[in-house]
Amino acid sequence: MPNIRSAIKKVRKDKRRAAVNLRWRRRFKKAVKAVRESPQPELLPKAQSELDKAAQKGVIKKGKAARLKSRLTKLAHGKSK
């Protein structure tokens, strides 16, 4: 346990941020899983939106969001590799 005042504050702040990041991570993973389980173009906008929001918040990187969106789009529209 840290004993410097700023380190104690940082531990509190990190705990709050981790909780927020976990919420965002669960949201986009749930949306991505829905598209993967039943690949329909109707489910795609929700998943893409969640990925964009997670990338904007810094939960995942912009490139990862783009890669997942691309793969989901291919899957939902039935295109092969």
Assigned domain for 81 exists: no
pLDDT score of 31: 96
Q: How far is CA 60 from the centre of its chain?
A: 6
Q: How many whole angstroms separate alpha carbon 20 and alpha carbon 11?
A: 14
CATH assignment of the domain containing 58: 1.20.58.110
Torsion over CA of 23, 29, 30 and 33, rounded to 10 degrees?
Answer: -170
Domain tally for the chain? 1
DSSP secondary structure code for residue 69 in this structure: H
User: Does 30 fall in a domain?
Assistant: yes
> pLDDT tens digit string along 29-79?
999 999 999 999 999 999 999 999 999 999 999 999 999 999 999 999 987
Domain limits for position 57: 5-76
* Residue 11 covered by a domain: yes
Percentages of the chain per state (helix, strand, coil), in multiples of 5: 75, 0, 25
